[in-house]
Chain A
């Protein structure tokens, strides 16, 4: 049982580190999706551990939310790419005090 949770934590950490170190908005976004999937693994493992279905249902909800998030996220990233021909988050620095 603990192995699954450990794997989920490792995936979550890889995702979090990726968000912090990568500069391409699309890759940052993929890392966030990786974290969401790590969470799904944790949900399903806990569901198995507790012997109820709540966690598995939660995993479905998370998938749907992630799909909606992809739509919104990619539309924002694409519109930025059209304007600037780059998706680097370092170049998005017009707003600074």
Chain B
């Protein structure tokens, strides 16, 4: 009786279609992260660190292999723009060329960061993370934790959850998914920032600042989403695009929505005037975490920025382009000028990351989608390539920072780096290569990256912005060259820093970063082709 009543009244509920094979990499990383939580609960403490590290590395490698497979399997689309991929997960995600390319670089960055996380030789057999975060710095309980050699092995699952958030963020097709992904990527990073073994007060302070400012900015992003929903009645980017193109709602609501969402996204990429957290957090966070954050968050947030503004708000690009141009100029200039006066290596790298956000914005604002028959690099492809190069170099640079030490841990004061090139030429040489790549000197990946974004901006009609960009890169180059001069042609002051001998893990990271940076400069062809063939966003 009851069953007939129900079946007569209620329509059947269709199970959602999930493209499991397309979303494989996401499932693998999530699964491994959850497995890591279980290991945390059940595995004996003595061997847990190694198990967690191996699990994380194996999981990321598996996801990377799956990403390659997914990429080769994407459907090709020829109209209206060349693209590949499809909308998946009931419209929540877009597995398209640029998105899967970003998965690839995020997983490579994640893999390199996990190797840095797992480095234990530098602290006498302990990791770079505090043994027991609950103990107050300097307390007797902390000393006891060091004596007992306890370690926080949760850092691996936390980093994997952040990695999942980044991957989701880069491929989300509706704004609600994007918000959840933003939080999934941010929350573990806030915690990871607070876990440094040395200088714990600084580390906790960095986490507090990052958390409060990050939460503040994500609320702005969320209110922007609410207004976009009020404007269009949907969270899907394609539906918002339709509403924007037809101008169905109130103009003010649309502009407010664009502005608020831009605040949230520009905060995450560290563009001026929302950059103030970057130096403090980069300096205070444990260096492996800084490396992960610098490379990963920037790549994921830039993809999200591109997707929201190209796909969702593409119809009103004449409204937002002037503002973004202004922000790009301010960001480049500020990053380049302020980094000149820095005396701390990590702060210097943070300001350099701000300047790079500005250069990436130059590529973004060109909004050059390509024309048939032309091989000129598009805005999306140029940004993808730049992100790959920048991420590799910055992980490498932060890996070098972990090795220059004295009795109190890492010595990040620049004056202590004087004469490093004489005592350990190989290490200083690799740091010099990263600096040259940041400066955009030919034969490094940074040059090709800068050429790409400037070319896309030029094709988009912003020749004068390219002129400004080139001038600012010349200005920034002065600073990077100054660091090289300091390392190679200045006498060490007093007893200089000792360069710790790392295990094979950090060595591999630095070697891969050097090879990648130089390789992408000399033979950029394969990766550039890959970025170019990723095509446009699928909507």
A94 within 8 A of B: yes
Q: Which residues of B have CB within 8 Å of A49? A: 230
B423 within 8 A of A: no
Q: How far is the CB of A59 from chain B (nearest CB, A)?
A: 10
A32 within 8 A of B: yes
In contact, B226 and A43 (Cβ under 8 angstroms): yes
B66 within 8 A of A: no
The digit string for B219-239, where 1 denotes a CB below 8 A from any CB of A, is 100110111011001110000
B137 within 8 A of A: yes
Q: Which B336-394 residues have a C-beta within 8 angstroms of A?
A: 341-342, 344, 347
Q: Which residues of A have CB within 8 Å of B341? A: 97
CB-nearest residue of chain A to B347? A97
In contact, A94 and B202 (Cβ under 8 angstroms): yes
CA distance A78 to B439 in the complex (A): 41
In contact, B219 and A25 (Cβ under 8 angstroms): no
Q: How far is the CB of B101 from chain A (nearest CB, A)?
A: 28
State which of A25, A42, A69 has its C-beta within 8 Å of the C-beta of B208.
A25
In contact, B180 and A95 (Cβ under 8 angstroms): no
For chain B, the bracket of interface size reads 35 or more
B255 within 8 A of A: no
In contact, A76 and B219 (Cβ under 8 angstroms): no
Q: A69-B215, A83-B138 are in contact. List 12 more A-B contacts (CB 8 A).
A: A32-B216, A54-B176, A54-B235, A58-B229, A58-B235, A62-B222, A68-B183, A73-B190, A80-B208, A82-B136, A95-B280, A97-B279
Chain A positions near chain B (C-beta within 8 angstroms): 5, 12, 15, 19, 25, 28-29, 32, 35-36, 38-39, 42-43, 45-46, 49-50, 52, 54-55, 57-58, 61-62, 65, 68-69, 72-73, 75-77, 79-80, 82-84, 89, 92-97
The CB with the most chain B CB atoms within 10 A, among A49, A57, A83, is that of A83
State which of A12, A25, A55, A84 has its C-beta within 8 Å of the C-beta of B229.
A55
Chain B positions near chain A (C-beta within 8 angstroms): 133-134, 136-138, 176, 179-180, 183, 187, 190-191, 194, 200-202, 204-209, 211-212, 215-216, 219, 222-223, 225-227, 229-230, 233-235, 279-280, 283-284, 341-342, 344, 347
CA distance A5 to B253 in the complex (A): 11
In contact, B279 and A89 (Cβ under 8 angstroms): no
In contact, A80 and B179 (Cβ under 8 angstroms): no
Q: How far is the CB of B130 from chain A (nearest CB, A)?
A: 10
CA distance A97 to B191 in the complex (A): 23
Q: Which residues of A have CB within 8 Å of B219? A: 15, 32, 35-36, 39
In contact, B223 and A79 (Cβ under 8 angstroms): no
CB-nearest residue of chain B to A43? B226
In contact, A42 and B212 (Cβ under 8 angstroms): no
Q: How far is the CB of B142 from chain A (nearest CB, A)?
A: 10
Q: How far is the CB of B415 from chain A (nearest CB, A)?
A: 15
In contact, A69 and B187 (Cβ under 8 angstroms): yes
State which of A12, A36, A61 has its C-beta within 8 Å of the C-beta of B176.
A61
Q: Which residues of A have CB within 8 Å of B226? A: 39, 42-43, 46, 55, 58
What are 6 A-B contacts with C-beta separation under 8 Å? A39-B226, A55-B226, A65-B180, A72-B191, A92-B208, A95-B279
Chain B interface SS verdict (over half): helix
Q: Which residues of B have CB within 8 Å of A76? A: 190-191, 194, 204, 207-208, 211
State which of A5, A15, A61 has its C-beta within 8 Å of the C-beta of B230.
A5
CA distance A76 to B212 in the complex (A): 10
In contact, B201 and A84 (Cβ under 8 angstroms): yes
Q: Which residues of B have CB within 8 Å of A93? A: 205
CB-nearest residue of chain A to B338? A97
CA distance A12 to B219 in the complex (A): 9
Q: Which residues of A have CB within 8 Å of B133? A: 79
CB-nearest residue of chain B to A19? B216
CA distance A32 to B208 in the complex (A): 14
Contacts A69-B187, A89-B208; A97 near B342 (Cβ below 8 A): yes
CA distance A95 to B223 in the complex (A): 30
Q: Which residues of A have CB within 8 Å of B283? A: 95
Q: Which residues of A have CB within 8 Å of B212? A: 19, 25, 28-29, 32, 73, 89
CA distance A96 to B342 in the complex (A): 11
Q: Which residues of A have CB within 8 Å of B180? A: 61, 65
Q: Which residues of B have CB within 8 Å of A83? A: 136-138, 200-201, 204
CA distance A80 to B216 in the complex (A): 19
CB-nearest residue of chain A to B190? A72
Q: Which residues of A have CB within 8 Å of B138? A: 83
In contact, B222 and A36 (Cβ under 8 angstroms): yes
Q: How far is the CB of A52 from chain B (nearest CB, A)?
A: 7
In contact, A35 and B347 (Cβ under 8 angstroms): no
Q: Which residues of B have CB within 8 Å of A12? A: 223
CA distance A61 to B222 in the complex (A): 11
In contact, B183 and A69 (Cβ under 8 angstroms): yes
Q: How far is the CB of B278 from chain A (nearest CB, A)?
A: 11
CB-nearest residue of chain A to B280? A95
Q: How far is the CB of B503 from chain A (nearest CB, A)?
A: 30
CB-nearest residue of chain B to A73? B211
CA distance A82 to B180 in the complex (A): 31
In contact, A92 and B205 (Cβ under 8 angstroms): yes
In contact, A68 and B284 (Cβ under 8 angstroms): no
Contacts A5-B230, A94-B202; A77 near B208 (Cβ below 8 A): yes
CA distance A35 to B224 in the complex (A): 12
Q: Which residues of B have CB within 8 Å of A80? A: 204-205, 208
In contact, B206 and A95 (Cβ under 8 angstroms): yes
Q: Which residues of A have CB within 8 Å of B200? A: 83
The CB with the most chain A CB atoms within 10 A, among B180, B341, B342, is that of B180
Q: Which residues of B have CB within 8 Å of A32? A: 212, 215-216, 219
In contact, A29 and B215 (Cβ under 8 angstroms): yes
CA distance A42 to B229 in the complex (A): 10
The 5 closest A-B pairs by CB, nearest first: A50-B233, A46-B230, A42-B226, A95-B280, A35-B219
